[in-house]
A and B are shown apart, each in its own frame.
Chain A
Amino acid sequence: MNGSVELEASPAQALSAQDYGGSAQAIQYHYDVNREFYRLWLDESMTYSSALWEKGDDLVAAQKRKIRYHLAQSHADDARSILDVGCGWGGLIRLAADLPSVERIIGLTLSEDQAAYVRGLGLEKAEIRLESWTEHEPELPYDSIVSIGAFEHFTKPEDSTEEKIAVYRDFFRRCASWLTPDGRMSLQTIAFGSMKREESSLFINNEIFPASDLPRLDEIAAAADGIFEIVQVRNDRLHYARTFEMWAQNLRSRHTAAAALVGEEVTKKYERYLKQSSMGFYMGKLALYRVSLRPISPRWATMAAA
């Protein structure tokens, strides 16, 4: 974020300008806890989003299956360039780097630790930028855009529904403008299911994910309307229930090591958050959407292509 914003605006305006589309402070609060702590309960690829389970899968296989799903939905097999909005600890980037046609992968994150970690992997095709999608200016168009588990951070609990849709729409508009006409996008996000926004858990809102609010499916659809065609939507909430359950079990079995790293209180807080999230997905209060999108083009031949 450049300093001119602070010089030109009041502190409140500067803060809201910095927070637009996802607060870096809020992201760092959650993701920069301690990488070794996350390593205790995530799988070896450090993938911190819902897996895609099939019979016989362990967590590693189910996370790989999820990444391959998004690579397929975004047509990454034929892509030369890929953008990953919210790249986490690089799980997707690592698999995308193995695709023969791919020449360049740009990963965006607001977490300093994640950026440092993925840069340290030494992936020649990958460039990691510590910047928000609101600041991103691509040098070349992308053939594929993937965003997994970032959308949840784009808006804040105090935003009105109209404001939320406007932010999501801004995101979709930018993504569409960054894509080649035949490009594809794959999005994964948690959303409110049967639960109303007012029923949000204060514990999760204040202690776990401050300054973040979830979308509803109709808000995603309204935001994409006229910009992206929605090709496919899956609600894989039970996949996330199982993923959270697995993480909770991993953390509990490594409780002592976790408490040594981040303290007893934070460890307990995470055990509760992981279990409660699993419950929310089992109950259907929360949804997990995987949305496949293609940009709407005025060109007939583009729209008619498979």
Chain B
Amino acid sequence: MNTIAIEVTEQQEKIDADVIESWCVNYIARTLDIPPDEIDPKDEFHTFGLDSAIATAMILDLEDWLRIDVPPSVIFEQVTISNLVVDLMIRLKMVESGRKVA
């Protein structure tokens, strides 16, 4: 698992891949009312029974939390939580380097 931590908020909260992954697992578990340990980050999103409204709410919350753009197409290209997390980490790093340059 990727261990690079990135500071994304004023609160100096450390956000790494593990944190995002468990956020996604818990989000889906809570929304669908199933135990988190039944959610395998390597399973494809559609197997959990997510619909477009829940998937939208999840990426909107990810955007608010991580302060990055998460276009809907991402979850059709990165179809598992694990793959999504890799993509989000890349987006975070790009934004972070942009902020440093700025």
Residues of A participating in the B interface, judged by any CB pair closer than 8 Å: 201, 203, 241-242, 244-245, 248-249, 252-253, 271-272, 275-276, 278-280, 282-283, 285
Instruction: With both chains docked as a complex, state the minimum distance between the C-beta of A248 and any C-beta of chain B, in angstroms.
Output: 7
Contact between B52 and A279, CB atoms less than 8 A apart: yes
**Cross-interface CB contact of A279 among B63, B69, B72, cutoff 8 Å:** B72
A-B contacts, CB under 8 A, total: 41
Residues of B near A203 (CB, < 8 A) are: 53
Q: Is the interface of B mostly helix, strand, loop or mixed?
A: helix
The closest CB in chain A to the CB of B74 belongs to A245
Q: How close is A15's CB to chain B, nearest CB, in angstroms?
A: 30
Most A C-beta atoms less than 10 A away, residue of B53, B56, B72: B72
- A249:B53 contact, CB within 8 angstroms: no
Residues B52 and A249 in contact, CB atoms below 8 Å apart: no
A272 surroundings in chain B (CB, below 8 A): 56-57, 60
Docked pose: A248 CA to B73 CA in angstroms: 12
| Interface flags, B35-57, vs A, CB<8A=1, else 0 | 00000000000000000110111
Q: Which of B1-57 contact A (CB under 8 A)?
A: 52-53, 55-57
The complex places the Cα of A245 from the Cα of B53 at a distance, in Å, of: 15
Residue of B nearest to A286 (CB): B52
CA distance in complex: A282, B59 (Å): 15
Give CA–CA (A252, B72) in the complex, Å.
13
Measured CB to CB, the nearest residue on chain A to B72 is A278
Contact check, A248 vs B72: say whether CB atoms are below 8 A apart.
yes
CB <8 Å contact, B72 and A241: yes
Task: Provide the bound-state CA to CA distance between A282 and B53, in Å.
Answer: 13
Residues of B within 8 A of A248 (CB): 71-72
